[in-house]
Structures are given as structure tokens and as C-alpha cells.
Structure 1
């Protein structure tokens, strides 16, 4: 049985979308290849099958590229600019071609007889790689690509005696390809910069275990002898190890100013950590024992010991890089449209070029070749072939998308593909979950009212309140809520633990989704739930109901407690609104509707919505209710974005046109479930990323417009004989470089 290999490779010299298509189709025809995916954006490819690295390398070399299996590019990145230029055979051929052309022009004044020979040598030097790539495109079934079109145009010029122009055209084309490759490499290095944030090595703290030197010695307690386990006499030592060798439970030491190599929890020490590489947050965050730290962040002035909590390939930074790489393969609708347009555009222009070459000479007796009066119709058709290259159109979108997604990732916003980047710029409705999104998501018990003794206790003034009935109610509620994941349940249980009220156990616990819970505590049926739930299930008088309503109207979340069908009392909780929420929502365009979806009662929801500047409120929502509301909003208004924590509201995030999860740095599920993940809990990033998306869409439209206008202008000029081949090549390569550089402006744009 043959073993299936998986090769993650870096491709050198792949500088256009066509190149990636040809390479992928060629490799798919290679014996033993079961799966192949070429990522033009990152310059990488993944190949799976029974083939070897040598087989793949040989196949890729035949098209004119080279590959390396060193995905970290540690050695390649250390090369000088000179070494990088001369490591690419195409660059060498271009330099040789330019040299021959310069010598040819100079020879006209010195040795005219060798001028044609020098132009021919320059022509051949520039022609080699386009011919090889064009032939590979034909063999792979990719059809007419730019290499074939340029080869035909240059060869046509050469064989009609336009030696200088033929050699200049093909060498200018190769030069443009090389320049485009240099520009794209800068975009690819932005992602590699993310990879380099995480150190390759770590300082592993190892204590002496099963020490052979001290085995059998009397232990310090004087009662027993040392046999195995950590040695009490040997000091721990530090070993430098590769991060890939670390396992969960290892302890690593991070010194002052070093990057943290792994996700983990601080076991000892205290320091400040710069989390900007992951979250984009510029301020330092204090970390002490029990706090989480993340790979790629920078330790400050203290030394900390970190308990490793995930493997190298599973840490937050690795997940971010993986998601960004995947995102670059996801084409937005506008790119898919342009790809289809290019498949029609190129054959159409080639057909027009053939008609230009044939119809005027045959039908109207016009000159086929150049003469003293101007360009012949063959020459004009060759110019049209150059204009038929769709490079600028095809590259205008992916480069802009790559730059926008990479820039966002470096600032703590993960966008999982160009399709979602496009949708972010078209949002008409922003729907928010309340708890943990508009609020901090850490409610605190602040008030308790007990019916039996008609006692009210403020937990902020009297932490361990004296009323026995109030204590009994909190203790009963905590027993039932222990098995719940709801934030309010956590608040009840934590208060009970902190105040010694966590001494009861509930049995036969039942969850009433979106309503509450019930269970048996010391033989008594205890119900803990919402006001609505009690209205239908538990008897309570009007005065009590009014008290609860007043607390709800004040913005508190209220939980009621019942015993054996009667009301015991209620507990009020506060979950403060995030301070930046009103300003962030007020900064949105007036055409965008803001909606809050919450399981809270309407009074509490309205109070929060008023403070947050939310337009529409949907309260008393069960999870399935949120799904139907999101669908209705989409039908009524258009594109809907759902914002939540990515955990409790995953179904609503999934059904929305774009799901935005907050707090991705601490939640793996948020990174997986959402279409956009904010690595820090900051609502203000949402309007900022929407503006970032809109700028990306404007840039794409501008790039496409420039490309089409230039091509239309040169088509008209070529037909009327006013354009030369070299002018067409300069215009084509110039427009390609222009849209590439214009799209790459987004790489360094601040989105916050």
C-alpha cells in the first residue's frame, strides 16, 4: 500500500493569477497527485498524493518556477536583495535580454552589421520563459493566456522585420512580470511576518525527575526515602527546545522583552504584555498568576513562567494564520464575475485581432504589412493581441482583497474571505446580542428581595447580608444553577461560593430553554427563572410583580426564585454597558438599522437599548426566535450582520449574511463559528472594519475602471494605427503594476 504524502510548498516566481491556474492544472495531471491547491495570494501550494517532493519539483521547474518545502522561509528571508533577484531564472533572462537590447542600440553607431544579431539574442532571451509557460498553459488546457498572446505578438513583429520592436516588447513584458513579482512578494511577506511573530524555540523549565544520583536518600522529612518523582535536592534547569516539541502541561520561562512562544497560563511571576500583534491593542496588559497569555505577544519588564495549554499548531496565532491563508482562497462575487468576464474578453479580442489582420487587406485592399505611410493591418492586429491580455483586470481584485484582509488581521480582525469583506461594505442591518456584546458579559448580583420576611438586601453594601431567608434563597438558587452555562447562573453560583452559601445539592435538574431551571433541593421543588416564566408557572401577587417591573425598568436583569409553586423572591443583576458602545453605534451611517436581540425582559432591554443608542429591540428571545428575527430582517432590509460572542449565539451568527464574533483571542469557538472575528472586545472596531471594507470595494471598482478605460483607449488607437507594440506593452504592464500598487495601499492602512 502506497503512503499518501502531504506537501506544503512555497512557489517562487508565480506572479500572476494565470500562473497559478496553469500550475494547478499541470500538477493535477501529474501521476500520483490526488489533490492540489495553489494559493496565488500567498505564493504557496498544497499537494496530496503518492508523489514525492522531487516529482513535484521537477514538474514545477518544467513550467519555469521553483519550489521549496521550507514554509517558514527562515533562510530565504535572510537573503540580500541581490541574492533574491538572481535566485529567479526569469529575472536573469530579463537582465540578459535588456543587456543585449542596449548593446544593439549602441552597435548602430559602432558596428551596424551585428545590430540585428544582438536584437535577436535579446529577443530569444526574453522569449524563453513566456514560450515555456505558454506551452504549459496549452498542455494543461488553460487556453490562451498572456504568455501565449505576448509570444504571438512579439514573434509576429520579429518575422515581419521589426527586430528592435519585437525584442523590446518581449523583454518589457518579462521586466513587467519581474516587477509585478517583486510587488506581490511584499504582500506575501505581510503574512510571513505574522508567522514570524511566534518564536521557533522556547526555554523549557525542567525539574530533575526520577533522579538516579539521589535515589535511596533519606527525604528532608526524615521519615521516608526518595524513590522517584521530582528530586528535592536538584535545582530545575532551563533547556532551549523547538516549540513543536512542547506538550500541554510543560512550563516555559519567558524573560524580559521576549516574545511568548506558546499559548498558556501564567504560573508564576508578573509582567506587562504587549498584545498588539494579536489584538491590535496598543496598550500594555498586566499579567499575573492565573492570567492567559498568547503566542506572538511580547513580554514586558518581568520574568514569567507559563504553563502551556495548547500545542504549537493549535495556538491562537496559528489559528489566525491558518484562517487568513484560507480566506485568501475565498473569492468574492466581484472576482468571480471578473474571472468569467476574462474568459469571454480574451477570445473576443483575439477574434477581433484576426479580423483586423484579414478583413481590411482582403476586402478593402489595405496594406497587410507596414509601409512608408504607416502601420499595416497585421501590425495593428498584433497590437490588439497585447491588449487582449486580461492581467490588470484579473489582478485588480485579489491583490486588493489580500491587502485588506492582511491589514485587518494584523490589527486584530479576522475576515474569512473576500466574500465576507465585500458583504461588510454592504450591511444594512446590524443585529447585536446583548450579554457579552453590548455589555461586558459579567453580570454581578447586587440586590436580593425575599417575600417571606419582606426583606431587601443590597449585596454592594452588605456583602454577607444578615437575613436568613435571603441567604436560604440564594443558596437554593445556586444549587439549581450549578449545571447552567448562562452568565446570570455563573453570577449566582460565584456569589454563593464567595459567601459560603454553596452548601446544597440539587437533583433531578431540568432546563427550560430560554426560561429557567428547576430541581429538587432538600426535597423542595425549586424553580429559578425569568419574570415571564413565573407569570405562567408560579403564583405571585401584583405588588411583587410591580417590584420586579420597577427593577427591570431600571435596567437590571431579574431572576425570580420559587419553592413548591410559591414565590420566594427575586435577585437583581447588573451587567454594565461597554463604555464605547454609544459612540460606536452613533458613528454608523444613518441608513444602517441597529437591532438588539436578547432573552431579557422588554423593560430591561429597553433601558439598555436607550443607553446604547440601539434603534430596535427584540426581547424575551429564545435561540430559535433569534433565527427567525434575523431571517425576517434580511427579507425586509437586505444584508444583515449578527454580532455576538460566537458561543451562545452561534446559530444566529450562522444564519446571518455575515456573523461577527467578539473576543476571538480567548475563544477558539469564536474563531471557528464566525465569518469575522474581533480578537479584542471592542465594538468600535465594527464601524471601522465596515469603512475598511467599503474602501476596499471602492479601490476594486476604481482599479477595474482604470483597466477597462486604458484597454478601450488602446484598442481604438491600435485600430486607427496610432499605437505601437511597445506602447501597448508599457500600457498593459503599467496598468497591471498601477492596480497592484493601488490595491496594496490597504496593507498599511489603520482601520481603528
Structure 2
């Protein structure tokens, strides 16, 4: 059985690793994973909860089985920090120790008070250092591993031994304070994701037989009806039963403008109702809502770590023990072999002190935290824009994409044919067909035939007739007959009217060479043509084509500016693919592909270019999406299959999010590399300073923890990454 718990007090990724190792050793535990970014422990197996709580507390952390409530209003950083420091037992001890340390510093100015000052320093060291030493020893005995806390404990003990008790107390106080700062900053990063879940209201106004009742959202069942008043958040996924209103769907789909919702339209939990009241029939339980699934999937995505993050974790696992060994050699080799001082002297610090400084400097806090906070920020930023990315590994892969393959129908196009042209034989040659009486009459006759059909082409004709105001000129055709060869025939008033393919008319309805040439020209550009006859006389033609998404051209241009090549993979006719490619400027076309051929094309392109992203609708493109290094589904908010199978989901179906996530992924990886370089660079600098006796223990801890805080703040930058307009340099 799998259970999930919240771990409190983890302020670095190394902490998460130690908790995971310690819990894994409990009897009955089959599997344990601790994700630092979300502070969650996922546990499989049968284990007594009291034993689990005891183990986690022994390692220096706390266990909860529920998420800590997120404040209704965002508070300032410093106010929140003060509240955080006073709420934690360890930090209260550290603050008390800091007060004793400050008093001891003041006593140095009074003669004869040195012993009292020393006593206060030791008390300060004990108060601030007790939680650190307890966690260090527990981890050493339970996990048989060396933690950051142990490095600090050893450094403090060594400082006391060499007579630097004041510096030891300062070291531990600053370390405890910096750990609290780091923990609070990380907690704020975690809240950005948890805050998405809090978009759903806690109660809903349910409509029962005996009236309206406020009930907890968790109690709503499929089939229940709820009323959402203007300005309120929608409490559950459902469909509009009655009413009409504009709904702000930005939390789910990232759409910047509200969407009009009418009876029969789907709505999502957490979205905001506009000016009209809506009665909604619930279709999903609260725990299964689209918003809840998004939050759950982004949370689970933390387990799919980027390759760079996995390397950092492996490096940190061997780095800390290696540092202890190096510090030991630094302490003993110069005194033993080069007659250097082991203890401090009036001329400077001995090599034991320098080794202690090395222990402090070498703590891998900044390094191990460089990736998870940044990746969490990137995943959350994408989710806010209506893009679900299922793990850091896919963010890393998106940053490396060299080519994007598009399915055509429903991806670059809307998948909804529209009337592109219609012309009567006796048209005088006007440019505006909607102003020509003869052309309008051809459209009206065709609409009367197609009105009773559910075919997509019929819908395109009827919609165009409605737009031009001719849809009621003729009554709906009677005695409809489907013709072999592609066409329909029916009676409109006293006339027999036929609408069919060019091939059908070539055989049964003679027409002029001029009309034939016009139709063939349209067909060569990828448009579907239909000819119309009335009582055997050819009246004209209509042309229909799939409508290109308004944003497709800009998306392709943006990809090219990012240095990414584009290709269309489609089962459609080559002429239709060529028409779309010409309008969009796509680099390559592969048309007329069967599903297995599309799969082969994806595999071939991936081998040729290295990293390929495939974009499709997430349903019939599933094999091709799976074969690409990154499969991206368009429009997954209402498509459970797309949300489950694709690596990345554009929830609102907005293609303009594609360049955004590619730029976001590159930005995230740049920040991670910056953080890694900075973390290693500052350590290298202070290691040199320590060897040259140019730094102190308290300066070392400030450098290490200050670096960790800078890494965290830098890692939060993706949360403010703008969608914006792509600059030529990407």
C-alpha cells in the first residue's frame, strides 16, 4: 500500500537523501522516495506510523500526513521569515543561543569577565548546536553516512579544542540561522506549486430538491448540480446546465482572455466565473478534477529527474565523505612532513584550524540545491501558463530540441474544414463572391442539400451560408440520396440538385474546360472541391480546406528564430500538406503516411537530428509521440488520454505555448549551469583562501550558506519568466 507524507524541516536536497535512506531501513518498508522539491515522502509497505515518526524525528525532521495550509494572502518575505523562525523549535534555540553569544561579546569589554563570557559562549554553542549534533549522530549511526550537520559539528568541536570557543559558537549560530533562511526560502518555492491546489474553493452551493445548501467541495458527487455566482471560483469539473457567462480559465489553460460558457460547455475547477450566474452539473470528484490531476502530475514529475540533477546527486553522495578525508590530510600532512604548526600560533592559524575551515567551506548545500529548486520553478511556471511538463528530464530534453515534427490536422490546423471559395458558372468575374448573386445562389443550394448531413464538409458549407445570410433561401432538400463516386442528390422545391466530386461530374455532368481547369487548380493546392448541378445543368463549384490555426505561422517563425527545424508528418494528401507548408514556411513535408510510416519517420528524424519533439493531438498520434524524445499533446485539458500519455501537454491547445516552453527549458538549464558553476567556484575560491590562512570559520559558513541562498533566489527566477514575444536571438 502506498502512502504519502509531508516532511518538515528539510532545507537541502542532502537532507532528503538522508531521510530516504533512513526510512528505507525500517522493517516492512518496501520502497521509500523523498522528493526535496515538494517535501513529500512516498512510502510503500507495511510500517507502523509511530515507528516512522520516530525515525524521521531521530534524523532531525518532522512528519505530517497533511499539507500545511497555504496562507490566503501572500505575506512579505521578512514578516514570513520572522514567523517561520519563531515557529520552529530548532531556530528558537538558535536565536536564544545568539542572544547569549551577543551578551558574551559585550562582556569582553569588561575586565575579569572572560570566564563568564566563555561560559556564555559554550551555552550558546550548546543551545544552537544541540539539534545539529543530534541529527548528525543519528544519521551517522542509522545511515552510516556523513552529513553536512556532521561536518559542522566536527568543525565546532575542533574549534573548541583549539581554544576558539567564541568562533565555534558563532559558526554554529550562523549555520543554524542560514539553514533556517534556506529552509524558509525553499518553503516559499514549494508554496508556488501548492498554491495551485488552493485555487479550488472549499465549499460549493449545491442545488437540492429542498433548496440551496453550502456543502464541502469534497462531498460533491458526479451528477450533483451547483450554482456559481458572478465572481466566484468554480468548485468542480462539470458542464454548464443553465446560464451563460465568461469564465477565466487561465489557471488551467493559460488563456489570457475569458471564454464564453453556455449550456453543454465544459468547465474546470479553480477557474473564475465572470458576470453571469452558472448552474453546473458536476462530472468528476474533487480529487479527480483537472486541476487536482495537474498538481498531482507536476508533483510526481519531481521524481523524473534531469540527467544533470541525477549526476549532482551521485556526486554529492561521494563528495561529503571525500571532504572529511581531505580535511584530515590537510590537518596532519603539513605538520608531519613539512614541520608546519598543527595548533594556532601568534603568527596565524595552524593546519587544524585550516582543515576545520575546509570542512565548513566544502559543505555541498548550494550544489545539491542548484537543480531541484530551479526545476520546480520551471515546472510551476509552465503549469501557470497552461502547460503540463511531466518531469525535469523533459525540461532538460526540451532545452536540447533541434527539430519539431508536427502532425497537420488538428495541430497546425483546427481540424475543422471551412469554405475557402465558391463560384457560379455565370459569375461575371467579381472578386467578392459574397456580393455576387449567382455565387450566393450556388452556396444557398449547396447548404440546402448539406443541412441534414453531419459530415465535416457539410458543416463548412452550412456555416458559410449562415455567415453570408443565405442559409434560409431554400428549404432543406428532400429525398436525399448518396451517389456512388462521392456525392449527394436531393429535391429542392421542384428541382433536382446534385453536389459531388469532380470525378463524379466528369462522368455524369458535362461541364466546360474552363470550369474543369479552375477546379483542378484548386485541387492541386490541396483544397477539396465539390461541383453543383441543378436539373442536370452545372451551376458552379465550392472549395473547402482545413483552416490553419491563427497562431501557427508565428509559432513556426519563432521556432526558426530559435534555430529549430520544422517538419510536417501527416497522412493527408501531399497537395493539402504542401498548401499548409507554403503558408507556414515549414522546412520539410512528409505526407501520405500510414501510422506505421509516421512512426518510422519519427525514429529516422530522431536518429538524424539528435533530439526531436513531436507535436500531435495525443490520440491517434500516440505511437509517434512515444517514439520522439519529447511527445507534446495539444489540447489536453479535456482529454484524459492526452494528459496521461504525452510527456508535455498544452492544456489549452494554444500552439504559441510551444516556443515559450522551449525558451523556458533553455532558461532553466542555463540557471542550473550557472548555479553549479557558482557553487563550485565559490568553494574553490574559499578553499584557496583557507589554505593561505586568509579566511575564518565564520566567514566560511557565511560564504557557504550565502551561496546557497543566492542559488535558491536564482533558481526562483523561472517563476517570473515572461511568455512575451520572441526576440530574434531567442
TM over 0.5: yes
Q: CA deviation at 1:433?
A: 0.8
What is the correspondence of 1:382-401 to structure 2 with a 5 Å cutoff? Answer: 382-401=356-375
User: Deviation at 1:444?
Assistant: 4.2
The CA distance in 1 between the partners of 2:686 and 2:661, in whole Å, is: 38
- After superposition, residues 601-620 of structure 1 pair within 5 angstroms as 601-620=573-592
User: Which runs of structure 2 are paired with 1:433-512 in the superposition (5 Å)?
Assistant: 433-444=407-418, 462=442, 465=445
TM-score, scaled relative to structure 1 = 0.82
Q: Corresponding residue for 2:213?
A: 239
| Alpha-carbon distance in 2 for matches of 1:257, 1:310 | 22
In the TM superposition, residue 118 of structure 1 has moved relative to its aligned partner by: 0.6
Give the aligned partner of residue 88 of structure 1. 88
Deviations 1:54-85 (A, max 9, x none): 33323322222222223262689999845543
- Once the two structures are TM-superposed, the CA of residue 31 in structure 1 deviates from its matched residue by 3.3
Query: Residue 388 of structure 2 contacts residue 650 of structure 2 at CA under 8 Å; is this kept in 1?
Result: yes
Summarize the Cα distance change of 1:260–1:661 in structure 2 as closer, same or farther, 3 Å threshold.
same
Matched, 1:556 2:527: yes
Q: Distance in 2 between matches of 1:184 and 1:29?
A: 27
The answer (yes or no) to whether the contact 2:447–2:461 under 8 Å persists in 1 is no
Local SS of the residue matching 2:445? coil
Q: Which residue of 2 aligns with 1:416?
A: 390
Which of residues 549, 552, 568 in structure 2 aligns to 1:581? 552
Post-superposition CA distance 1:580-614 (Å, at most 9, x none): 21122112236311101111111111111111121
CA distance in 2, matches of 1:149, 1:466: 83
The answer on whether the counterparts of 2:85 and 2:180 sit within 8 Å (CA) in structure 1 is no
Note if 1:47 corresponds to 2:21. no
Counterpart-to-counterpart distance in 1, 2:158 and 2:441: 91
Structure-2 separation of matches of 1:187 and 1:78: 13
The separation in 2 between residues aligned to 1:330 and 1:100, in whole angstroms, is: 46
Kept in 1, the 8 Å contact 2:104–2:116? The answer is yes
Q: CA deviation at 1:373?
A: 1.3
Question: SS state of the match for residue 465, structure 1?
Answer: helix
Tell me what 1:702 maps to: 674
Task: Give me the whole-angstrom Cα distance separating, in 2, the residues matched to 1:36 and 1:356.
Answer: 38
* Contact 2:226–2:282 under 8 Å retained in 1: yes
Residue segments in structure 1 that go unaligned for 5+ positions in a row: 209-236, 450-457, 482-486, 507-515, 518-528, 535-540, 561-568
> How many angstroms does 1:347 deviate by?
3.3
Output one character per residue of 1:397-436: Cα deviation in whole Å (capped at 9) or x when no partner. Answer: 1111111111111121111111111111111101111111
- Deviation (angstroms), 1:460: 7.8
Assess, with a 3 A threshold, how the Cα gap between structure 1 residues 722 and 72 changes in structure 2: closer, same or farther: closer
Distance 1:55 1:501 in 2: 78
Within-5 A mapping of 1:220-619: 237-444=211-418, 462=442, 465=445, 549-557=520-528, 573-588=544-559, 589=561, 591-619=563-591
For 1:339 and 1:460, how far apart are their aligned partners in 2?
70
Deviations 1:702-724 (A, max 9, x none): 11111111111111111122221
Q: Does 1:683 align with 2:662?
A: no
- Map 1:24-103 onto structure 2 (within 5 A): 24-71=20-67, 73=69, 81=80, 83-103=83-103
1:96-120 deviation per Cα after TM superposition (whole angstroms, max 9, x unaligned): 2211211110121243320111110
Q: CA 1:459–1:103 in 2, change beyond 3 Å: closer, same or farther?
A: farther
Deviation of 1:267 (Å): 0.6
Name the CA distance, whole Å, in 2 between partners of 1:643 and 1:401: 23
Residue matched to 2:431: none
Q: Is the 8 A contact 1:446 1:459 kept in 2?
A: no
CA distance in structure 2 between the partners assigned to 1:701 and 1:130 by the alignment:
30
Return the alpha-carbon distance in structure 1 between the equivalents of residues 541 and 153 of structure 2.
82
CA separation in 2, counterparts of 1:117 and 1:578?
75
Q: Is the 8 A contact 2:249 2:258 kept in 1?
A: yes
CA distance in structure 2 between the aligned counterparts of 1:739 and 1:144, rounded to whole angstroms: 23
Residue 748 (structure 1) aligned to one of 698, 720, 725: 720
1:661 to 629, 633, 645: 633
Cα deviation, residue 144, structure 1: 1.7
C-alpha separation in 1, matches of 2:446 and 2:458: 22
Partner residue, 2:683? 711
C-alpha distance 488-22 of structure 1, shift in aligned 2 (>3 A): farther
2:491 alignment counterpart: none
CA contact (8 A) 2:406 2:615 kept: yes
Q: Conserved in 2, the CA contact under 8 Å of 1:552 and 1:601?
A: no
Report the equivalent of 1:152.
154
Pair 545,38 (structure 1): closer, same or farther in 2 beyond 3 Å: farther
CA offset at residue 14 of structure 1?
1.0
Contact in 1 for aligned 2:132/2:153 (Cα 8 Å): yes
User: How many Å apart are 1:47 and its aligned residue?
Assistant: 2.9
Instruction: Find the aligned partners of 1:673 and 1:570 in 2 and give their Cα distance.
Output: 43
Deviation at 1:677, TM superposition (A): 1.0
Q: TM-score, normalised by structure 2?
A: 0.84
Structure 1 residue aligned with 2:496: none
Asked whether the 8 Å contact 1:199–1:296 carries over to 2, the reply is: yes
What do the CA deviations read for 1:205-247 (whole angstroms, capped 9, x no partner)?
1125xxxxxxxxxxxxxxxxxxxxxxxxxxxx11111222211
Contact kept in structure 1, 2:84 and 2:184, CA below 8 Å: no
| 8 Å Cα contact 2:525/2:578 also seen in 1 | no
Distance in 2, Cα, partners of 1:489 & 1:377: 87
| Separation of aligned partners in 1, 2:101 and 2:258 | 57
Q: 1: distance between equivalents of 2:378 and 2:166? A: 41
Following TM superposition, by how much is the alpha carbon of 1:257 offset from its aligned partner in structure 2, in angstroms? 0.7
Say which of 187, 191, 194 aligns to 2:189: 187
Residues 8 and 463 from structure 1, CA distance in 2 versus in 1: closer, same or farther, beyond 3 angstroms? farther
Mapped to 2, the partners of 1:408 and 1:143 lie a distance apart of 37
How far apart are the structure 1 equivalents of 2:261 and 2:324?
64
C-alpha distance in 2, partners of 1:322/1:493?
43
Inter-CA distance 418–493: structure 2 relative to 1 (3 Å threshold): farther
